[in-house]
């Protein structure tokens, strides 16, 4: 009895220690975001940034957020980012699901070699690809359009890998049973496996959304027309124009720029948990 009680007590202490460590790291990670939101509510930060930093403004006000939301350029940047991001997410998730299913359940020559090539793309950073991609889209006269931001998302090695790993956990007997009924590969995918892929699809939507919405370097290269600037480009240009002044407006603008990502994550977080839980299902 004593050993059992001592084991339970040690287990509780262990859980409390882990919780405390995670709480400390969570607070440290959230502190910059909390400060960003706080400065956005501080009108005096447009004159000089508060030092030392404070989490609660002396006189909280919605003045900065009112100006930001009335800014026509920000609204246009939001529209541009929405067009690019939604298109990229749809293309990326759709192609990754199909490719992941093919690599997992498909039977064709060169599958392993082709999958290795797809994984090899993960080792190539964006910087070495800038010049070839720029020349490619320049040759077809697509610069200063949204197409250079959308089309490269057709192939995403990371998401294809995640999809393959997910479909590997689903039983092959589902496919075999559908084949016995005379279903083709596309019908098997859309009728059998696609309804089961909701959790991994939600995870990919969030990842693809974050990558596309926050993309800065590639849009900076291909979009010289300010009317086509996305939210990160507009935020950068606003910061460069004003320097250290208008800190409150800058932080309010930064808060508004990350808001769609936060809302999307809160809406889809339960599906992410499901995808992690289902990763242990065996066929």
Section 42-46 average pLDDT: 70
Section 121-148 average pLDDT: 89
Tokens of 250: 């800058």
Domains of the chain, start order: 1-70 (no CATH), 72-278 (1.10.3720.10)
Cα–Cα–Cα angle for 227, 232, 238, rounded to 5 degrees: 70
Measuring CA to CA, how many Å separate 230 from each of 84, 112, 211? Answer: 8, 38, 13
Q: Model confidence over 21-37: pLDDT tens digits?
A: 988 988 888 888 888 88
Tokens of 198: 């909701």
- In order, the DSSP letters of 81-150 are HHHHHHHHHHHHHHHHHHHHHHHHH---TTHHHHHHHHHHGGGS-HHHHHHHHHHHHHHTT-TTSSHHHH
Please state, as a whole number, how many other Cβ atoms lie within 10 Å of the Cβ of residue 234: 21
C-alpha–C-alpha distance, residues 283 and 278, integer Å: 11
Q: Model confidence over 48-82: pLDDT tens digits?
A: 666 676 777 777 778 788 877 777 788 888 899 99
Tokens of 227: 């009317």
pLDDT band at 87 (very low <50, low <70, confident <90, very high): very high
Shortest CA distance to 236 belongs to which of 124, 74, 87?
74
Task: State what percent of residues in the chain have pLDDT above 90.
Answer: 16
pLDDT band at 94 (very low <50, low <70, confident <90, very high): very high
Section 239-260 average pLDDT: 75
Average pLDDT, the chain: 82
Predicted pLDDT at 41:
80
Q: pTM above the 0.75 mark?
A: yes
Predicted pLDDT at 281:
41
Please check the confidence at residue 244 and state whether its pLDDT lies above 60: no
Section 108-119 average pLDDT: 88
Predicted pLDDT at 82:
92
Predicted pLDDT at 95:
92
């Amino acid at each position: 009895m004593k050993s059992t009680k001592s084991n339970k007590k040690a287990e509780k202490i262990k859980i409390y220690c882990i919780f405390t460590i995670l709480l400390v790291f969570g607070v440290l990670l959230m502190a910059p975001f909390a400060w960003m939101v706080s400065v956005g509510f501080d009108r005096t930060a447009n004159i000089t940034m508060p030092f030392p930093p404070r989490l609660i403004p002396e006189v909280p006000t919605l003045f900065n957020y009112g100006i930001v939301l009335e800014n026509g350029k920000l609204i246009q940047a939001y529209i541009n980012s929405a067009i690019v991001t939604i298109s990229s997410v749809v293309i990326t998730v759709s192609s990754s699901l199909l490719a992941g299913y093919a690599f997992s359940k498909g039977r064709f020559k060169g599958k392993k070699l082709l999958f290795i090539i797809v994984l090899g793309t993960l080792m190539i950073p964006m910087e070495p690809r800038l010049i070839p991609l720029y020349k490619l889209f320049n040759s077809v006269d697509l610069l200063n359009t949204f197409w250079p931001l959308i089309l490269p998302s057709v192939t995403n090695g990371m998401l294809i890998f995640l999809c393959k790993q997910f479909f590997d956990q689903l039983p092959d007997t589902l496919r075999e049973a559908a084949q016995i009924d005379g279903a083709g590969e596309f019908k098997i995918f859309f009728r059998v496996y696609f309804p089961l892929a909701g959790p991994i699809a939600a995870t990919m939507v969030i990842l693809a959304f974050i990558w596309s919405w926050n993309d800065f370097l590639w849009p900076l290269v291909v979009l010289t027309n300010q009317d086509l600037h996305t939210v990160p480009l507009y935020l950068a240009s606003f910061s460069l124009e004003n320097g250290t002044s208008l800190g409150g407006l800058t932080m309010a603008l930064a808060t508004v720029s990350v808001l769609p990502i936060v809302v999307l994550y809160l809406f889809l977080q339960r599906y992410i948990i499901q995808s992690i839980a289902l990763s242990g299902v065996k066929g």
